[in-house]
Amino acid sequence: MTTPMTRTERIDIPLRHPVFDGHFPGHPIVPGSLLLDLVLAAWNGPLVCVSIVKFHRPVRPGESLTLCFAPAAQGPAVRFRCLRDQEPVCSGLLLPSVTRSP
């Protein structure tokens, strides 16, 4: 995997999604799994695994986030940060996926 240039994208959290019915009724928040799905969809690069992730603040349906990808200090890893109004909501590290032969 080649190290990508720094890039920024906007993520719009869907206002309605079936996962909100159970997470949490009347006061929905975006589950971490949905947020990571949106990060990986925006990545749109070579297959990766999420090595590290930290959720800093809850995210609500309908919010817009800024997603930043930047090369990590060493190796082929890529750092990501999701921001809402310049405040981090999640961050983490993407690593190249390891393919194993049978």
Instruction: Reduce the DSSP state of residue 48 to 3 states and report it.
Output: strand
Instruction: Count the domains in the chain.
Output: 1
Asked whether 90 and 54 are in contact (CB, 8 A), the reply is: yes
Containing structural domain, residue 52: 7-19+27-96
Write the pLDDT tens digit of every residue in 80-93. 999 999 999 999 99
The strands making up 78-84's β-sheet, listed across from edge to edge, are 7-12, 64-71, 78-84, 87-96, 48-55
Residue 102 placed within a domain = no
For residue 84, the number of C-alpha atoms closer than 13 Å in the C-beta half-sphere is 15
Residue 1 placed within a domain = no
Write the pLDDT tens digit of every residue in 13-72. 999 888 888 878 788 999 999 999 999 999 887 878 998 999 999 999 999 999 999 998
